[in-house]
Structure 1
């Protein structure tokens, strides 16, 4: 009888393990789809909507460690719903906030799924890197018109891959680039060939996006990754390895960009986009002046203006996440966004150099999030899918750390 029970228990465990493996594969596939957003709703939304619902119906729990991000995101979007009450024409607003709320739930989902099994972090980053390389290749081929119809992967003569906007395409590639760089720097030199091609493809994709925000984000994140790794690994051998690889990478980057600039088309667009301030930034009613006017208007409207209202007034959207949170989500949304961002940054800094299995993923996501906070001064981020993925990764790591600390305390309390 005991043998039967044991066999039955083993079969149940086998089935459960198989289901968890399938579930983890679906999570990775969802992340992969985030690299292909040619229109809204994208396949990512449709797939993730079903997956999130199924996971929670099957018992995925939101722990106390993950609850704060859920509460802050719900309050953030509640502020947006309040802004609809002051709109004369709410056409498009309900769908806008439906997308915002759904993306917020994906962030909570990623955090919960990572807390449930830390091994999913590796799957998430591998899927992200795979998707980034593929969409980057599409953008590169499109930019150089490698085949008939390839221009569908460009916009304004700028690579955008399978995205709607080069300004989203470029930043999307940065976190996978850092992941591959980390693997390159932490692996034996004999395995460099595994990661170097992917890094070069992603770097060229960022460059050909001709997004100043993406260029700045890329430079900041690469520099920050090297600094943090030097702080973490203080051996002379490791530092020499980083120095050698960094010099080699810089030389290859210069050669690659120099080769691309031999094309007159690339050279002209580069010289134009390399200007720190474009005509549409500093002109009358340009980006910076709209920022000033928008902030003054938001100070008089606690409930905000509503989504896309400022864009209809001036012909251009806010292009500033701080202003966007005020105009679209009201004062409540602004406070929640500020609280969420700085809480995440503070917690990430606190856990940054702790030796944990999830430390590399936390480090990469934390660096990239800070970089996105910086470019948020000149671009809107509230519907960027990978931003919510970054928040989910970080809060999943925070939840893992909290569980680790609780387990450690119980171990210390128990008698030997």
Structure 2
């Protein structure tokens, strides 16, 4: 299921695999923990708000399909949270490698398109040579690759075994991410790497490990810098950098640009309790807001927008606590937090409200919170019982005889 998420050009693959996985897990027994309820409530209220905003536009296919997609990704988030309530470590590992292998496949296909091998350039690139691979948008491909890249970097820094293999996998993934020419994805990777390095440094107890982390992190950034320098020596790549490495493009600035439209939409949305309706922002402006927080109010109304903001705030707190809590799942929690933060920053410059991989992150952050708290509760009970047994044995044992002179 996770691997198929890398093939967005074939929607039916991920949809079918998701429905199959949910059905199989439901038949075999999908455990519901009371700690999963906050996630479910947030997503149910958010989707109900969207359905309320949909009512005037029930006859509009685009609006109906938009809400169907929102309900679907919300369901997958809940599924991922519940799926790790049992056999957590094995399933988290399976999800990790599903992401990595999916990213590798999408990256290789994208690079083949960029090199125009067998005339596949038009199939796997968009917008004058930007790599899109198995996605419909280079920006989404780039952001999708961030979490698998962080997993590879984390394992490279943490575990000495298999470093060469991870490096070989990471190289095409990072190259494809660069070739998407997505400024948001580039920033997301840098932010994610910085958060990952900081969290690994904070959560590591051994000074030797911290020294190694510092050295390897610096070495990794040096390798990235040298790779960029080598790429910049290529004329076509140098043009990519000059064109994309700016904070604002022509379509961003001006009263009718992206940011100007956002400012004009704000006072209008304050007067509309149900917003413009699901995916109807572009009926009032040239395009959607490219701001997920604004899109929440635009498509889901006041209730949906406020619910989304509360959900994001709580998810950050939950993910932060997961990353700092010493459990068998802490390494996954650290990577999830490092993957979450840059996506929340990206929310300010692109619409992510139906990104499959982002809802996977949401679901796993809340799922990790549930299993981490349950593990801590069980550990406390075990420690308390062990203490009671030790005290009972000590009380029952006869005192030592005094030494004779």
Name the counterpart of 2:165: 194
Q: Deviation digits for residues 160-219 of structure 1, max 9, x if unmatched?
A: 11000011000111111111111111112x632121112222211111111111011000
Contact 1:318 1:380 in 2 (8 A): yes
Name the counterpart of 2:137: 165
Name the counterpart of 2:335: 364
The CA distance in 2 between the partners of 1:403 and 1:209, in whole Å, is 41
**Equivalent position to 2:33, from 63, 66, 71:** 63
Name the counterpart of 2:45: 75
Matched, 1:383 2:354: yes
Report the alpha carbon displacement of residue 84 of structure 1 after superposing the two structures with TM: 1.6
Matched, 1:103 2:78: no
Which of 330-339 and 347-356 deviates more?
347-356
**Equivalent position to 2:261, from 286, 290, 297:** 290
Q: Deviation digits for residues 16-41 of structure 1, max 9, x if unmatched?
A: xxxxxxxxxxxxxx0000111015x3
Name the counterpart of 1:406: 377
Identify if the C-alpha distance between structure 1 residues 245 and 102 changes in structure 2 by more than 3 Å, giving closer, same or farther.
Answer: same
Which of 158-167 and 287-296 deviates more?
287-296
The CA distance in 2 between the partners of 1:105 and 1:164, in whole Å, is 22
The CA distance in 1 between the partners of 2:44 and 2:58, in whole Å, is 24
Contact 1:304 1:327 in 2 (8 A): yes
Contact 2:296 2:304 in 1 (8 A): yes
TM-score (norm 2): 0.91
In our comparison, the structure showing a higher alpha carbon Rg is: 2
Matched, 1:299 2:299: no
Contact 1:111 1:395 in 2 (8 A): yes
Q: Deviation digits for residues 341-369 of structure 1, max 9, x if unmatched?
A: 11111122223222211111111111211
**Equivalent position to 2:311, from 316, 322, 340:** 340
The CA distance in 1 between the partners of 2:31 and 2:204, in whole Å, is 36
The CA distance in 2 between the partners of 1:199 and 1:343, in whole Å, is 32
Report the alpha carbon displacement of residue 63 of structure 1 after superposing the two structures with TM: 1.8
Matched, 1:177 2:149: yes
Query: What is the DSSP-based 3-state SS (H/G/I as helix, E as strand, rest coil) of the residue aligned with 1:281?
Result: coil
Name the counterpart of 1:152: 123
The CA distance in 2 between the partners of 1:88 and 1:186, in whole Å, is 52
**Equivalent position to 2:206, from 225, 235, 258:** 235
Identify if the C-alpha distance between structure 1 residues 122 and 158 changes in structure 2 by more than 3 Å, giving closer, same or farther.
Answer: same
The CA distance in 1 between the partners of 2:254 and 2:130, in whole Å, is 23
Report the alpha carbon displacement of residue 58 of structure 1 after superposing the two structures with TM: 3.5
What pairs with 1:107-146 in structure 2 (closer than 5 Å)? 107-118=77-88, 119-146=90-117
Report the alpha carbon displacement of residue 89 of structure 1 after superposing the two structures with TM: 5.8
The CA distance in 1 between the partners of 2:8 and 2:17, in whole Å, is 12
Task: Count residues with an aligned counterpart.
Answer: 385
Query: What is the DSSP-based 3-state SS (H/G/I as helix, E as strand, rest coil) of the residue aligned with 1:173?
Result: helix
Q: Which stretches in structure 2 are left out of the alignment for 5+ residues?
A: 390-405
Contact 2:327 2:375 in 1 (8 A): no
Which of 96-105 and 236-245 deviates more?
236-245
Which of 246-255 and 371-380 deviates more?
246-255
The CA distance in 1 between the partners of 2:339 and 2:20, in whole Å, is 28
Name the counterpart of 1:262: 233
Matched, 1:93 2:63: yes
**Equivalent position to 2:325, from 354, 369, 374:** 354
Q: Deviation digits for residues 250-308 of structure 1, max 9, x if unmatched?
A: 23222322232333322212211111011000023110011112222211111111122
Report the alpha carbon displacement of residue 88 of structure 1 after superposing the two structures with TM: 8.7
Contact 1:225 1:367 in 2 (8 A): yes
The CA distance in 2 between the partners of 1:170 and 1:209, in whole Å, is 6
Name the counterpart of 1:48: 18
Report the alpha carbon displacement of residue 234 of structure 1 after superposing the two structures with TM: 4.7
Report the alpha carbon displacement of residue 247 of structure 1 after superposing the two structures with TM: 3.0
Report the alpha carbon displacement of residue 339 of structure 1 after superposing the two structures with TM: 1.5
CA-based RMSD of the aligned residues comes to 1.7
Contact 2:126 2:138 in 1 (8 A): yes
TM-score (norm 1): 0.88
Name the counterpart of 2:192: 221
Contact 1:35 1:163 in 2 (8 A): yes
**Equivalent position to 2:218, from 247, 265, 286:** 247
Name the counterpart of 1:34: 5
